[in-house]
Amino acid sequence: MHKKPLILVTNDDGITAPGLRTLINAMKTLGDVIVVAPDSPQSGMGHAITVNSTLHCDKVSKDDAEILEYSCSGTPADCVKLAVHEILDQKPDLCVSGINHGSNSSINVIYSGTMSAAIEAGIEGIPAVGFSLLDFDWDADFSQIESFVKTIASNVIENGLPNGVVLNANFPKLKKEDIKGIKVCRQAKGNWVEEFDKRKSPMGKEYYWLSGEFTNLDKGEDTDIWALENGYISVVPCQFDLTAHHFIQHLNTWQLND
C-alpha cells in the first residue's frame, strides 16, 4: 500500500484567503495536508525573510480538525522554513503555494510572495508549485480551475522534479470549459512601467503609491503571457540558480585584473 503523500500548503495572501481554501480542498484529495500560512497578506514580498525581528506561529485549527493549520507572522518564505524545520517532523513530499489572487506570469515571478514560498521549498529539496489565477478579486471563482490544479500537483507527485526546479502555474480568468489546456512555457520578457501616484497628507507631506502598467516586451508564442492571452494555463519551470551562464565566457574577456 502506498503511503499518502504529505503536502505542505501555503500562500502569500494570508491564511483567510479564498484561494488558499480552494488549494486545501484540491490537495485533500491527493494526500495528507498541513497548512502553514502568513497571518496577513504578503503580496509583493518577493523572497523576503524575517531576520531582524521575531516570528510567531500559532496553531489555528482545532485538535480534532481534519487538517492542521498554522498561522505565522512572517513572510511566505518564513512559513516554509518554519514548517520544514520546526513544525513538521518529516520532509513534505510536495509544497504548493497559492492560489494567488492575481498574476505571477512574466517578470511578476520576481516580486511574488507565492513563488518565493515555492522557491524556498525547492531550495529545501521539496518538489513545489506556485499557483496563481489572473483575477485580483477576493471573491474570484477558483472552482473553475480546481481540477487543473489537481492535475498539475498529481503530475508533480508522480514524476517528481529535478533538484533546483520548481513550477510556476498561472491560470486565465475563464470558465473551465473555455480553458484550452495546460501549456509548458518560458517566462515572457516584460516589465512594469511605473507611475507613482503622488499625494499630500493632511499635514502637507508628500507621499507615493506605487502603480504602473505591465508591458509585455516579448512576441514569442512559447511564453506564459502568450499562453494566458490565448486561453491556456501556463506552466513555467523556474530555477533559483540565477547564474547567467551564457555570459561567463564573455565576462572573462573583461580587463578585471590589470
Q: Does residue 1 bind its own copies (CB under 8 A)?
A: no
Q: Scanning residues 58 to 77, which ones bind its own copies (CB under 8 A)?
A: 77
Whole-angstrom distance, CA of residue 8 vs CA of residue 38? 13
Q: How long is the chain? A: 258
How big is the CA angle at 157 (ends 155 and 162), to the nearest 5 degrees? 90
Which CB atom, from 1 or from 52, has the smaller least distance to its own copies? Answer: 52
Which CB atom, from 138 or from 196, has the smaller least distance to its own copies? Answer: 196
Whole-angstrom distance, CA of residue 19 vs CA of residue 156? 20
Q: Give the interface segment with its own copies, choosing from 28-36, 45-53, 88-96, 127-135 (CB under 8 A).
A: 45-53
Q: Which three cell numbers stand for residue 240?
A: 533559483
Binding mask 76-95 for its own copies (x = CB under 8 A): -xx--xx-xxx---------
Whole-angstrom distance, CA of residue 90 vs CA of residue 126? 11
Q: Scanning residues 165 to 224, which ones bind its own copies (CB under 8 A)?
A: 165, 168, 181-182, 184, 186-187, 189, 191, 193-196, 198-199, 205-210, 212
Q: Give the interface segment with its own copies, choosing from 14-22, 23-31, 53-61, 126-134 (CB under 8 A).
A: 53-61
Cβ contact 167:237 at 8 Å: yes
Whole-angstrom distance, CA of residue 216 vs CA of residue 211? 16
Q: Cα 92 to the chain's mean position, in Å?
A: 17
Torsion 78-81-85-87 (CA) sign: positive
Type of residue at 84: V
Give how far Cα 109 sits from Cα of 5, 18, 65, 73, 116, Å: 27, 21, 34, 22, 8
Q: Which three cell numbers stand for residue 146?
A: 480546481
Task: Report the nearest approach of its own copies to the CB of residue 22 (Å).
Answer: 19
Which CB atom, from 66 or from 197, has the smaller least distance to its own copies? Answer: 197
* Number of residues binding to its own copies, judged by CB under 8 A: 77
Task: Report the nearest approach of its own copies to the CB of residue 14 (Å).
Answer: 11
Q: Scanning residues 107 to 136, which ones bind its own copies (CB under 8 A)?
A: 107, 109-111, 116, 119, 123-124
Q: Does residue 56 bind its own copies (CB under 8 A)?
A: yes
Which CB atom, from 50 or from 61, has the smaller least distance to its own copies? Answer: 50
Q: Scanning residues 148 to 167, which ones bind its own copies (CB under 8 A)?
A: 151-152, 155, 159, 162, 164-165
